[in-house]
Structure 1
Amino acid sequence: MTARFGVLGAVEAQISGHPVGLGHARQCSVLAVLLVEAGRPVSIDQLIDRVWGDEAPQRADGALYSYLSRLRRAVAEAAEVGIERRPGGYVLTVDPQTVDLHLFRRLISQARSAEDRSAAELLTQALGLWRGEPFAGLDTPWLVSMRQSLLSERFAAELDHHDVLLRLGRHAELLPSLSAAVAEHPLDERLTEQLMLALYRCGRQADADEQYRRIRRSLADELGSDPGAGLRRIHERILAADPTLVATKPAAPLARPNVPTQLPADVRAFTGRDRELDALDRSLAPPDGDEPPLTVVLLSGTAGVGKSALAVRWAHRVREAFPDGQLYVNLRGYDTEQPVAVGDALAGFLTALGVGGPEIPPGVEERAGRYRSELTGRRMLVLLDNASSVEQVRPLLPGTGSCLVLITSRDSLPGMVAIHGAERINLDLLPLADAVVLLRRLIGGRVDRETSVAEDLAAACARLPLALRIAAELAAARTDVSLAELVDELGDHRMRLDLLDAGDPRAEVRAVFSWSYQNLPADAARMFRLLGLHPGDSVHVEAVAALTGTDVGEARRLLAVLVRASLVHAGRGGRYGMHDLLRAYAAELAAAQDPAPERKAALTRLFDHYLAGSVAAMSTLYPDGTEGAGDPDAARSWIEAERPNLAAACIYGAAHGWYRFAIALAGTLFRYLDAGGPVAEAVTVTASAVSAARAVGDREAQARALSDLGRLHRRQGRLDEAADTYQQALILYADLGEHAAEAVALRNLGSVHWRLGDYRQAADHYRRASAHYERLGDIAGQADASVQLGRVDARLGDEAQAVTRLRSALELVTKLGDWYSEAYVLSLLARLSHEPADLEQAGIHLERSLAAIRQAGDRTAEAYALTDLAAVYAHGGRLTEAAGHLGRALLLHRRIGDRASEAEALNDLGQVLRAAGDATEARAQHEQALILAREIGDRYEQARAHDGIAATLDRDDGGPHRDLARRLFADLAVPSAPDLAAR
C-alpha cells in the first residue's frame, strides 16, 4: 500500500488514499519532526526539545516512546514505511518524495534549472502542494520556527514563479495576485519590481511609478534606506520607456541582476572530511529549535588545518542551491598589518551585487543596511573566510533567512553561537589514514612502497593539509631521495629552528615551511621572502618583477618554482597569491635575513611601479585636453584589477613611512575614484593622503587632500562634514599664502553653504574668492565668482542685481572664448528673462555645449547641461523636451551619486509635469525630491518640494505642505521658489 504524508498544512497521512488517524496534537508533533527529517536519525533529546520545548514533563521520554509506538502501528500497513531505532536516534524510513515538503523542495530545485515553460509547470505543481500554514494547529517553539522558515521558502518560490510567468508574457493574469502580495509584503523590493513591470506592460506606467514612490517612502520611513539597485534600475527604464521592457523572452529584465560568483577555485586533490561535509549538507535543511531564520555555520580550527579548502569545496558542491549567487571575502583577520576593514568588505559585496560606486553609502552602518536590503529575498551563499572576531563578521550577516552564511576562523567565536545561533563545526587535524591518502594522491606510488614512512611523514607534518601539500610537492620534485631520508631531513630542520612548542601544530607547520624553503634555489627563496612584504592580497607578475628587481620573464620563472613548491598559488590573468600563514612566514624570514635597506628598496620599487602604472593609466583616461596615448579600455582594466592593491599600498605607505608615495598615489587616483570608483576606497585612500601629509608636515599636500576629501563628502550629501573639511583646507591655504588655491577653497565652501541654505555665508565666501581672483588677475575665476554671486542674488529675490552680475560674467567668459561657461551663464540669464531672443540664444549655446560634452564623455557636465537646457526649454514652453532632458539628467545624477543635484532635478521635473497638466506625476517627483532633500539637509529643495506637492492638491489637502513651504522659505530668508515653467 502507498503512503502519502503532508506537513504543508495540517499534519496528515494517507495510505492508499485513505486518511490515517494520527492521534492528539503532541503525537502529531512527533510525526511532524520525523517527517521533516525523513530518512535521518533524530535523537531522543532532539525529539523531546522539538515536541515540548521548555515545557517537557519529567517523564517525557516515557511519553515519547508511547507516541512512537502508536505511530508505528498507524503506518504499519504501508509498504516501505517504518519508524526504526538506530544508533543516532529514531528514523522515519520513507521515500522522501511521498512527503509534500520534500517533494516541494525537489520540484523547486528542478524548476530553477529548467527552461521557462517547464519551470512554470513545475513551480505551479510545487505551490499547489500547499494546503495552508505548515503544521497547522501545532505550536511548539521548534515547529513555530520551522513554520516561519518554510513560509519563507514558499515566498521565494512564489517570487520565482512570478519571474517565470513575466518572462512568458503572462503579466495580465499576474496582476491580481501581485497586487495582493505587495499589500502583504510592502517592503519586498523584488516583489515590487515584479508588480511595476506587470503594470507597465499592461499600459499603466503611472501606477508603476506610484509603486516605486510608495516603497521608496516606506523604506526611508521604516528602515532608513534607499531602494536597491534592481528596483532603481527598472524604475529608470520605465521612466525612459525602455522598449526592451515589453520583451517576453528569457532575457526579460526581472531575471535577477548581478548574480555574483565570487568563490575561489576548488582545491586540487581534496581528501577526506566526509563527516564535516555531511554536517555542512545538513545546514541546508531548515534551522532547528529557536535559531533565527538566517542559517550561520562556523568552521573553526587551527591555522593550516584546511578550513578554507573545506569551505570552498563544499560551496562549489552546493552552488546550485544558491541560484542568486555566492559572495566571498578573505577577511585576513589574523594579518597584523592589513586585515580587511568591515566597511571595505561591505563595499566589495555591494559592488558585486550591482550597486554602483557612487551609490555605496559612506558609513559602515548605512552600508550594512543597504547590503541587507540588496540580499532581501535572494537565495545566496555568503562565505566569510579567515574571520578574527564577531565584530568583524556581524555587519556582514544578511537579514534574510533565504541566505546561508559560512564562516571560517581560527577562533571558536562563541558570540556567533550564543548571539546569532551559529552551528559550529570544529575542524581537527586530518585522520592519519586520510593524511596518507592525500600524500598518495599528490606523490603517487612511492607512498604505497613506503607506507610506514608515509605515516611518519604525515605525522611530521602535524597532519595539517597545508603542510602535507608542501611536503608532497617537495617529495615529488626529489624523486632520487627516499621518503625516509626526507622525513629525517625534516626532523633536522625542526631541531635547528627550535620551533617545537609541545602540542602546537602551528610550530610544526613552520618547520615544514622551513624544510620546503631551504630546498629552494637562492633566487626563488629571495622572491618568496620579498613576497611576504607585499601589502595586498594578490600580486601580478609585473609587480613581482618590480618588487624583486627582475624582469618579467625571470619573475615568471621564479614564480613557477614557488608554485611547484606549493608556497605560492597561481590565479587568473598572471596573478599570484599566498596562504596567510605562508605570507607571515615569508615576512618573518625577510625581517631576519634581508637587511632593512634592501627591504625598503624592494617596497620602493613596488610602489614606484604602482605609481607609474597609475600615472600612465590616468593620463590615458583623462588626457586633459591633449591626445591621450594608450588604450582607454586597457587603462581602465588595469586600474580595476590593481585597485585593491593600490588602496592597500596607499594605506600601508601612509602608515609605514612612504609618505610621499601615499600622497602622490592618492592624488593620482582621485579623479578616477571620484568619478566612479567605490566611495569607500576613495575616502580611505584620500584620508590616508591627509595623514601622510600631516606626518611629513607638508601642509600644501594636506590642503589638497582635504579639498579632495571635502568633495567626496559634498558629493555624498554629507554637507556638514564637507564644510568642516573645506574649512581646514582653507586655513592651510591661507597660512601658506596660496591665494589661488585659497580662492578655490572659498568657492567650494560657498557651494556647501549654498546647499545648506545659508546664502549670506555663501555670498561672503564667493566675495572673498572674487577678491583673490581679482588680485591674481584670474579672469575666469572672477567670472565664476560673479556667476555664483548672481545666483545668490536671484535666490534672495534681487533679480536686477543678479542680471547685472551675470551680464558682467558673460562679457568675461566671452572674451576668454570659454563657450561652456558662456552657455551656462546664458541659461541663468534666460531663466530671469521673458524675451524669446534670450531663450533662443541660450538654447543654441547649450545645445552646442551639450554635444561637445557628450563627445568628451563627461557625464557630470552632461547632467548639468541637460538640467540647464531643460530649464530654458521649460521657460520657453517646450515642456515635452524639457521633461525628456530632465529624465536623462536624473539618470546621470543617480549614477554619479550627486544627490543634491538629483533632488533639484526632481523638483524641476515636478514643475514641468505640473505645467503639462499631469498633477499626479508631478506630485510623485516632488515627493521623491522631499525624501532626498531631507536626507541630505537641503532646506531649499525641501521647501520647493512642499510647495510643489501643495500645488498638485486641493486647498485643504495641500494646506499643510503649503504652510511648511512658507515656513522654510521664511527661515531661509528667500521668496518662494520661481516656477521653472512660468512664462
Structure 2
Amino acid sequence: MTAEFGVLGVVAAQVSGRSVDLGHARQRSVLGVLLVEAGRPVPVDQLIDRVWGESVPQRVTNALYSYISRLRRALADAPTVAIQRQPGGYRVTADPQTVDLHRFRRLVAQARNEALDQRATEQYAQALGLWRGEPLAGLESPWLTSMRHVLLRERFAAELDRNDVLLRLGRHAELLPDLAAAVTDHPLDERLAEQSMLALYRCGRQADADEQYRRIRRCLADELGSDPGLALRSLHERILAADPGLMAPPAGANASGARLAAVAAAAPAQLPADVRAFTGRAEELAVLDRLLPTAGGSDTTTSTGTAPTIALLSGTAGVGKSALAVRWAHHARPAFPDGQLYVDLRGYDAEQPVAAADALAWFLNSLGIRGPEIPLEVEERAARYRSALAGRQMLILLDNASSVEQIRPLLPGSGSCLVLITSRDSLPGMVAVHGAERVNLDLLPLAEAVGLLRRLIGARVDREPSAAAELAAACARLPLALRIGAELAATRTDATLAELVVELGDHSRLDLLDAGGDPRAEVRAVFSWSYQNLPADAARVFRLFGLQPGVDAHVDAVAALTGVRAAEARRLLGLLARASLINACGPGRYGMHDLLRAYAGELAAEHDPAPDRRTALTTLFDHYLARSVAAMAALYPTPTAEVGDPDAARRWIAAEWPNLAAICLHGAAHGWRRHAIALAETLFRYLDEGGPVAEAVTVTSAAVTAARAEGDLRAQAQALSNLGRLHRRHGQLDRAAETYRQALARYVGLGDRAAEAGALRNLGSVRWRQGHYRQAAEHYQQALALYQGAGDEAGQADALVRLALVDERLGDQEQAVERLQPALELFAQLDDEYSEAYVFSLIARLRRREDQLELSAARLELSLAAVREMGGRTGEAYVLTDLAAVYACLGRPTDAAGHLRQALLLHRRIGDRASEAEVLNDLGRVLGAAGNPAGARAQHAEALALASEIGDRYELARAHDGIAATYENTDEPDLARPHHEHARELFSALSVPNVPGHAGPGDTGAVNRQPTDQSQHAP
C-alpha cells in the first residue's frame, strides 16, 4: 500500500487513497515535525522542544511515547512507513518524496535549473499545486510558527521565480491578475513590482506601469525612508523610454541569454572590470571551462543537495591570479544567470584582512537582505547566506584568500553555484576536504610574456626582439611587473628597450622583494624602476598612499593625507595610475595592489621620518572625523546648526564605511586611540538607527578597547553604554545587561552622578524587557534619587515615567497617574513638547477620557511631523506606536493598524528586535478588534517566535494571550485553552496581577511603550 503525507496545509496522511485519522493537534504536531525532517532522525529533546516549546508538561516523555504509539497504529497499513526509535532520536522512514514539502522543494529546484522554460512552468505549477493552505495549519509552538513563516517565504520565492518564467514565455496577460493581488499583499517588494510593471507595459498599459512605480516609491519613502533600488529605477526609465527590448521574446525563444536578460536587472553583477590586454593562459582557461555545467565536467546544476564546484587558482604574488579569475569569470557569466558575487579578501594585508563575517555581511546585503536582518554571529550569517543561494545559479569569486578558515564560511551549500578562489597559498585543505580543483599558475612562458609587452608597448617589441625578451626576463615574467615595465617604456619613447633594460639593471643592487615566500617573485627592482622615474611630489604621494589603512581612498582623502590641494592630488594620482602603481576603482577613488602597498610602506619608512608619517596619518584621520561630524550634522540637524544635504551625507558614509571602520580598528591598535574613540562615538547614532549592525558592534568594541588602553574611564563608560544599546537592540539582553553594568561601575568610579543615573536607567530598561519589574523599579528609583540630587529636571521626569510604567504593569494605575502628573509638569517647564505629548497620552489612556484622547492624538501628530523632519527613525517608530495606542482607545482600529505597520517596518530596518515583538503583538490585538482573527493570529505568532528567541517573557505572554483570543468564538475553541494557560503562567511568573483584556474598541490592554535606554525623550 502506498502512503502520501502533507504538511503544506493541515498535517495529513493517506494510505492507498484513504485518509488516516492522525488524532488531536499535539499528536499531529509530532508527526509534522518528523515529516519536515523525513528520513533524518530528530533527537528526543529537540522533538519535545519543537512540539511543546516552553509549555512542557511534567510527564512529557510519557506523552510523547503515547503519541508515537498511536501514530504507529494509525500508519500500520503502510508497510514502507515506520516511526523508528534510533540512538539519534525518532525518524520517519517514509521516502521524502511522499511528503508534499520535500516534493515541492525538489520540483522548485528542478524548475530553477531547467533549461526549457515550458518545462520549468510545468514544474512550478506542480510544485505550487501541492499547497492546500497555511502550512502546518492549526499547530502551535514557537518552532512550528517559525517554520510556518519559513515555508511561506519559500512559496513566495517560488512564485516570484515562476513569474519570471511566465514573463519570458510572453504570458504576461494571464499573469497580470495574480501579480495585482500579490502587489497588494507585498507592497514593498521591489522584484514583484518589477514583474508587475513589465506585465502592465507589455499589455499596453504604460501609464499603469508608471503609476505602479510611483506607488512603490511612495511606499518605500513613507514606510522605510528609502528610494527604489537601481534595478527598479532602471526598469522605470526603460518603460518611459518605450525600450523595445522590454517586449516579450518571440514565441519559442528559450536561450540561456533570454533568462540572463530577464534577471540581469535584479541579479548582483559584482565582477571587477576585465583586464586590459590580457595575454596567454589558454591552458588554465581551458581547465576552468571544463568546470562549467555545459562542458561535460562537474555539473553545477544537477541538484541543490550536491556540493558546489570549487576552483582554486594558486600562485605567487603578481603572477596574474586575479586577472585570470576576472577574465574567466566574465567569459563564464552566461552560465550563471542569477548573478556573480565578488570580494577581495585581502588575505595578505598584514593590517586589514577581510574577516569572513564581514564578507558574509557584504554578500547578504548584495543578495537583498537588509542590514538589520543580517545576523551577528558568523555561523548564523553563513547559514543565512547558504539559504539565500539555495537553488540559484551563481558564481562567487573569492579573491586573495589566505586560509581555509577565511574561505569556509563563504562556501554555498548549493550545487548550483561555482566558487572561484585565488590565493598565494596552495590551500591543501580546500582540495582534501572540499574537493577543490586546483589550477597552479606559474610565471608566464617567455613567449607569452613578450606577447603581453607587445600588446602594451606595440611595434617596438618587434623592432627589438632580443631586448624585449631581456625586459621580460628582467620583469621576472610576472604580469604585474611586466605591466609596470611596459607603462614606463611607453612613457620613455626617447629610449630604446635595450637602454631601459640596462637602466633596470642599474637598480638591481636593491634588495629583491620576496613576495609570498617565492624566490622567483623578485619584483622590487621593477617597482623601483618605475618609482625612480616618478617626479618627487608623485613619489611622495605613492609612499604615503601605502600607509593609509582603508580599502581605497578618495581624492579628498589623499589630499588630506599628503597635505596638498584636491586638484593637485588628482593630478598626482593620475600620474601614479598611468604608471600602474595605483588603480582607479570608482569616480575619484583609487586603490593599490597589496605588493605595491607593502613596497610603498617600506619606502615611506626609508624616506619619510616617523613624525612626518604620523602627521600624515593624523591629518587623514582628522579629515575623516571632520567629514563624519559634518555628515552626522546633516543627517540629524539641530535647530541652531546649518542644514546640510542628508542624502549626500548618507551616500558619503555608505561609500566610506569600510575606511571608517578600518580607521577605528587601526587607530585602536596603533596609537590613534583618540580618533578611534571619537569616530565611533560620532557615527553611533547612524549605526544605531539602521546602520550595519555587526559592524557597529565591531567598531564600538574597538572604541572600548581604545578607551581601556588610554585609561580613560569616561570614554570607556560611554563606549560601553553604546555597546550595551546595540546588544539590547538586537535582543541580546543578558549581554546588554553585563555591558551596562560595566559602564555603571566606571561612572560610579568617576563620581559622575548624572551619568551614573543614566547607566542605572539603561540597566533598568533591560531588566524591564526581561520581565524583572522589581529590579527595574529599584534601578529607576536609584536613578531618580541621583537626578534629584543633581537638580536634573529632565532626568527626574524620565525616571518618573519609567516608574509609572512599572506601576501600571504591576496593576497600580492610580500610582502610575500620580507619578505621571509631576513628570508632565516638568516636561512642560522644560518646553519638551515631544515628551510632554507622550506623557499626556499615557495619562489619557489610563484614565480613558475621550476628550483627552482626542487631544493626545493631535499633539502626537505634531510630534510625528517634527520627528520625521529631524530624521530620527527610532523616535518616529515610537511616536507611531503611541499614536496607534491612542487610536485604538478611540475605536479607530484601521488608523491604529496603519501606524503600527509603519512602526514595524521601521523597527525591522533599525534592527530593534525587542520593539518589533511588541509592535507585532499590538498589531495583532488591533486586527483582532477589527474582526480579522486570522490576521491577528499571524502577527501574534510572529511575536511569539521572536519573543521566545530573545527572552522577552512579557511579549511572549501577550502573544499567547492574543492567539487564544483569535480562537475564541470559533469552531476551534479548544485551541485557545493551551494558550490561555501559557499566558496565565507567564503573567503569574512576572507578577503581573491582571491579564490584559483582549483588544477591542477602547481597549489596548497594557500601555504600549516599553522603556528603552534612549534619553532623548520619555520612554
Is the TM value for this pair above 0.5? yes
Q: What is the aligned partner in structure 2 of residue 958 from structure 1?
A: 976
Letter in 2 for 1:706: L
Q: 2:577 aligns with which of 547, 559, 563?
A: 563
Query: Which shows bigger deviation, 896-905 or 197-206?
Result: 197-206
- AA partner of residue 445 (structure 2): P
What SS does structure 2 have at the residue aligned with 1:832? helix
The alignment status of 1:261 with 2:261, answered yes or no, reads no
- Alpha-carbon shift at residue 754 of structure 1 (Å): 0.6
Letter in 2 for 1:957: L
Match of 1:386 in 2: 400
- 1:686 aligned residue (689, 700, 705): 700
Residue by residue over 1:48-103, the C-alpha shift from the partner in whole angstroms, topping out at 9 and shown as x without a partner, is xxxxxxxxxxxxxxxxxxxxxxxxxxxxxxxxxxxxxxxxxxxxxxxxxxxxxxxx
1:182 offset after TM fit, Å?
A: 9.4
Structure 1 residue 924, shift from structure 2 partner: 1.0
Q: Is the 8 A contact 1:199 1:207 kept in 2?
A: no
**Where do 1:395-544 residues align within 5 Å?**
395-497=409-511, 504-505=518-519, 507-544=521-558
Match of 1:201 among 178, 186, 194: 178
Cα distance, 1:654 vs structure 2: 0.8
Q: 283, 308, 320: which one pairs with 2:291?
A: 283
After TM superposition, the structure 1 stretch with the greater mean CA deviation from structure 2, 779-788 or 365-374, is 365-374
Please list, as runs of the form range in 1=range in 2, the aligned pairs for 1:112-511 lying within 5 A after superposition. 154-157=110-113, 176=129, 187=151, 189=153, 191-195=155-159, 201=178, 258-285=266-293, 288=298, 292-497=306-511, 504-505=518-519, 507-511=521-525
1:729 to partner: Cα distance: 0.9
Asked whether the equivalents of residues 111 and 120 of structure 2 are also in contact (C-alpha less than 8 Å), the reply is: no
Map 1:811-850 to 2 at 5 A. Answer: 811-850=825-864
Aligned residue for 2:522, secondary structure, equals helix
CA separation of 1:207 and 1:552: change in aligned 2, threshold 3 A: closer
**Distance verdict in 2 for CA 1:501–1:686, change over 3 Å:** closer
SS in 1 for 2:505: helix
**CA-CA distance at 1:360 after TM superposition:** 2.0
| 1:851-866 → structure 2 map (5 Å cutoff) | 851-866=865-880
1:888 positional shift: 1.8
Residues in 1 aligned to 2:817 and 2:328: alpha-carbon distance in whole angstroms: 70
Contact 2:111 2:124 in 1 (8 A): no
- The answer to whether the 8 Å contact 2:636/2:871 transfers is no
| CA pair 177-265 structure 1, distance change in 2 beyond 3 A | same
Aligned mates of 1:923, 1:800 — CA distance in 2? 32
Report if the CA contact (8 A) 1:152-1:401 is conserved. Answer: no
CA distance in structure 1 between the partners assigned to 2:898 and 2:624 by the alignment: 43
Q: Any conservation in 2 of the 1:153–1:402 contact (CA below 8 Å)? A: no
Deviation at 1:164, TM superposition (A): 11
Percent identity between matched residues is 65
Q: Secondary structure at the match of 2:553?
A: strand
Question: Given residue 966 of structure 1, which amino acid in structure 2 is its aligned partner?
Answer: R
Partner of 1:723: 737
1:977 to 987, 992, 996: 996
Conserved 8 A contact 2:264-2:337: no
Tell me the distance in 1 between the aligned counterparts of 2:953 and 2:841: 24
- Higher gyration radius (CA): 1
- Distance in 1 separating the partners of 2:803 and 2:560: 52
CA distance in 1, matches of 2:990, 2:403: 48
TM-score, structure 2 as length reference: 0.74
> Is residue 944–residue 960 contact of structure 2 (8 Å, CA) maintained in 1?
yes
Equivalent residue, structure 2, for 1:777: 791
In structure 1, distance between residues paired with 2:830 and 2:737: 31
Distance 2:695 2:803 in 1: 35
Code of the residue aligned with 1:838 in structure 2: it is: Q
Question: CA offset at residue 578 of structure 1?
Answer: 0.8
Q: Quick check: 196-205 or 741-750, which moved more?
A: 196-205
2:129 maps to amino acid: P
Cα offsets for 1:832-868 (capped at 9, x unmatched): 2233223222222222222322333322222111211
TM superposition shift of 1:687 = 1.0
**Counterparts of 2:745 and 2:739, CA distance in 1:** 10
Quickly say closer, same or farther: Cα 1:161–1:720, change in 2 above 3 A: farther
Which digits, 9 at most, give the CA deviation of each residue in 1:434-488, with x for residues without a partner? 1111000111111101112211211121211001101111111112222122222
**What is the CA–CA distance in structure 1 between the aligned matches of 2:541 and 2:355, rounded to whole Å?**
28
Per the TM alignment, residue 968 of structure 1 is displaced from its structure 2 partner at its CA by: 1.2
What TM-score results when the alignment is normalised by the length of structure 1?
0.76
Distance of 2:375 and 2:298 partners within structure 1: 35
Between 892-901 and 838-847, the greater mean CA deviation after superposition? 838-847
2:636 to 622, 628, 632: 622
Matched, 1:899 2:918: no
Distance 2:154 2:459 in 1: 55
Change (3 A) 1:651 1:339: same
Cα distance change, pair 676–181 in 1 and its aligned pair in 2 (3 A): closer
Equivalent residues of 2:107, 2:126 under 8 A apart: no
CA RMSD, Structure 1 to Structure 2 (Å):
3.6
Change (3 A) 1:635 1:506: farther
Contact kept, 8 Å, 2:507 with 2:528, in 1: the verdict is yes
1:162/1:174 contact within 8 Å kept: no
What is the letter of the counterpart of residue 996 of structure 2? A
Post-superposition shift, 1:763?
0.7
When residues 566 and 292 of structure 1 are mapped into structure 2, their CA distance, relative to the original with a 3 A threshold, is: same
What is aligned with 1:912?
926
SS of the residue 1:977 aligns to: coil
Alignment of 1:651-730 (within 5 A): 651-730=665-744
Query: What amino acid maps onto 1:639 in structure 2?
Result: I
Give me the whole-angstrom Cα distance separating, in 2, the residues matched to 1:572 and 1:203.
Answer: 39
Checking the alignment, whether the CA contact within 8 Å between 1:460 and 1:508 is kept in structure 2 is: no
Paired residue secondary structure (2:350): coil
For the 8 Å contact 1:693–1:699, the answer to whether it is kept is: yes
SS of corresponding position for 1:495: coil
Measured in 1, the distance between the counterparts of 2:764 and 2:264 equals 43
Distance verdict in 2 for CA 1:377–1:190, change over 3 Å: farther
Q: Distance in 2 between matches of 1:723 and 1:503?
A: 48
Aligned positions of 1:791-810 closer than 5 A: 791-810=805-824
How many residue pairs match? The answer is 805
Does the aligned pair in 2 maintain the 1:182–1:192 contact within 8 Å?
Answer: no
CA distance in structure 2 between the partners assigned to 1:160 and 1:818 by the alignment: 65
Query: Which consecutive unaligned segments of at least 5 residues does structure 1 have?
Result: 1-147, 213-232
Q: Work out the CA distance in 2 between the residues paired with 1:158 and 1:274.
A: 31
Q: SS in structure 1 opposite 2:747?
A: helix
Tell me, yes or no, if the aligned pair for 1:824 and 1:868 is still in contact at 8 Å: yes
Q: Deviations over 1:550-593 (max 9, x none)?
A: 22222222222211221111222111111111111111221222
In 2, are the aligned partners of 1:386 and 1:407 still within 8 Å (CA)?
yes
Is residue 788 from structure 1 mapped to residue 802 from structure 2 by the alignment?
yes
Pair 1:207–1:544, CA change in 2 (3 A) = closer
**Structure 2, unaligned runs of 5 or more:** 1-103, 137-146, 164-174, 190-215, 240-245, 249-261, 1004-1019
**Residue type of the alignment partner of 1:857:** G
